[in-house]
Structure 1
Amino acid sequence: MTDLSTDVRVRYPAFTLEVAHVFPGHGITALFGPSGCGKSTLLRVIAGFERGAKGRIAYGDEVWLGERAYLPPYRRGVGYVFQDARLFPHLTARGNLDYAHRRAADVAARYSFDDVVDVLDLAPLFERRVNQLSGGEKQRVAIGRTLLARPRLLLMDEPLAALDTRRKGEIMPYIGRLPNAFGLPVIYVTHALEEVTQLCDRIVALAEGRIAATGGVAETLERLDLSSVQGRFEAGVMLTGRIAAQDMALHLSRVDIGSARLEVPQIALAPGQEVRLRVRARDVSLALTRPEGLSIRNALDARVLSIEPEAATAFAEVLLDVGGQHLRARVTRAAVADLGLGEGQPVVALIKAVSFDRQALPRDNRAEA
Structure 2
Amino acid sequence: MTLSVALQHRFGGFDLDVRFEAGRGVTALFGRSGAGKTTIVNAVAGLLRPDTAQISLNTVTFNDARTCLPPHKRRVGYVFQDARLFPHLSVAQNLDYPQRFGARPTGRDRIIEMLGIGALLARRPGTLSGGERQRVALGRALLADPRLLLMDEPLAALDGPRKAEILPYLDRLKSEGTVPILYVSHAVDEVARLADHMVLLSGGRVARQGPLFDVMADPAAVPLLGVREAGAVLRAHVTEHGLDGLSTLRVAAGEVQLMGVQAAVGAEIRLRVLAQDVLLSLDRPTGLSAQNILPVTITAIREGDGPGAAIALDAGGDTLLARVTSRAVTSMGLTTGQNLFAIIKATSVAQTAISGGAISAKASAP
1:335 corresponds to: 328
- Letter of the aligned partner of 1:160 in structure 2? L
Q: How far apart are 1:52 and its partner, in Å? A: 4.2
- Letter of the aligned partner of 2:270 in structure 1? R
Q: How far apart are 1:189 and its partner, in Å? A: 0.6
1:174 corresponds to: 169
Q: How far apart are 1:336 and its partner, in Å? A: 1.8
Check whether the contact 1:89–1:129 (CA below 8 A) recurs between aligned residues.
Answer: yes
Note closer, same or farther for the CA distance 1:254–1:167 as it changes in structure 2 (3 Å cut). Answer: farther
Residues 114-148 of structure 1 deviation map (CA, whole Å, 9 limit, x = unaligned) = 01111111113334443332222221111001111
When the two structures are aligned, how many residues end up with a matched partner? Answer: 358
Instruction: Give, in whole Å, the separation in 2 of the partners of 1:343 and 1:139.
Output: 46
The question of 1:206 aligning with 2:201 is answered yes
TM norm structure 1: 0.90
1:349 corresponds to: 342
The question of 1:93 aligning with 2:87 is answered no
Instruction: Give, in whole Å, the separation in 2 of the partners of 1:296 and 1:338.
Output: 23
Residues 33-57 of structure 1 deviation map (CA, whole Å, 9 limit, x = unaligned) = 2221111111111111113432222
Instruction: Give, in whole Å, the separation in 1 of the partners of 2:340 and 2:59.
Output: 52
Alignment map for 1:221-260 (pairs within 5 Å): 221-247=216-242, 249-260=243-254
The question of 1:8 aligning with 2:7 is answered yes
The question of 1:280 aligning with 2:269 is answered no
Instruction: Give, in whole Å, the separation in 2 of the partners of 1:252 and 1:134.
Output: 34
Instruction: Give, in whole Å, the separation in 2 of the partners of 1:182 and 1:284.
Output: 35
Q: 1:107 aligns with which of 103, 113, 131?
A: 103
Note closer, same or farther for the CA distance 1:259–1:333 as it changes in structure 2 (3 Å cut). Answer: closer
Check whether the contact 1:154–1:186 (CA below 8 A) recurs between aligned residues.
Answer: yes
User: What secondary structure sits across from 2:137 in the alignment?
Assistant: helix
Check whether the contact 2:303–2:309 (CA below 8 A) recurs between aligned residues.
Answer: yes
Q: How far apart are 1:196 and its partner, in Å? A: 1.6
- Letter of the aligned partner of 1:125 in structure 2? L
User: What secondary structure sits across from 2:331 in the alignment?
Assistant: helix
The question of 1:302 aligning with 2:261 is answered no
Instruction: Give, in whole Å, the separation in 2 of the partners of 1:42 and 1:187.
Output: 10
TM norm structure 2: 0.91
- Letter of the aligned partner of 2:52 in structure 1? K
RMSD: 2.1
Check whether the contact 1:165–1:359 (CA below 8 A) recurs between aligned residues.
Answer: no
Instruction: Give, in whole Å, the separation in 2 of the partners of 1:209 and 1:188.
Output: 17
Check whether the contact 1:169–1:362 (CA below 8 A) recurs between aligned residues.
Answer: no
Instruction: Give, in whole Å, the separation in 1 of the partners of 2:292 and 2:162.
Output: 28
Note closer, same or farther for the CA distance 1:85–1:217 as it changes in structure 2 (3 Å cut). Answer: same
Check whether the contact 1:55–1:67 (CA below 8 A) recurs between aligned residues.
Answer: yes
Q: How far apart are 1:363 and its partner, in Å? A: 4.3
1:316 corresponds to: 309
Q: 1:122 aligns with which of 112, 117, 120?
A: 117
Instruction: Give, in whole Å, the separation in 1 of the partners of 2:210 and 2:352.
Output: 27
1:135 corresponds to: 130
Note closer, same or farther for the CA distance 1:257–1:121 as it changes in structure 2 (3 Å cut). Answer: same
User: What secondary structure sits across from 1:355 in the alignment?
Assistant: coil
Note closer, same or farther for the CA distance 1:10–1:68 as it changes in structure 2 (3 Å cut). Answer: same
2:26 corresponds to: 28
4+ residue runs of structure 1 moved beyond 4 angstroms?
A: none
Q: How far apart are 1:364 and its partner, in Å? A: 5.4
Q: Which runs of 5+ in 2 are unaligned?
A: 359-366
Note closer, same or farther for the CA distance 1:128–1:251 as it changes in structure 2 (3 Å cut). Answer: farther
Note closer, same or farther for the CA distance 1:362–1:183 as it changes in structure 2 (3 Å cut). Answer: closer
Instruction: Give, in whole Å, the separation in 1 of the partners of 2:228 and 2:127.
Output: 37
Note closer, same or farther for the CA distance 1:178–1:359 as it changes in structure 2 (3 Å cut). Answer: closer
Instruction: Give, in whole Å, the separation in 2 of the partners of 1:165 and 1:353.
Output: 23
The question of 1:265 aligning with 2:262 is answered no
Instruction: Give, in whole Å, the separation in 2 of the partners of 1:52 and 1:308.
Output: 36
Q: Which runs of 5+ in 1 are unaligned?
A: none
- Letter of the aligned partner of 2:125 in structure 1? V
User: What secondary structure sits across from 2:223 in the alignment?
Assistant: helix
**Percent of aligned pairs with the same amino acid:** 42
Q: 1:66 aligns with which of 60, 64, 76?
A: 64
Note closer, same or farther for the CA distance 1:253–1:137 as it changes in structure 2 (3 Å cut). Answer: farther
Instruction: Give, in whole Å, the separation in 1 of the partners of 2:135 and 2:224.
Output: 29
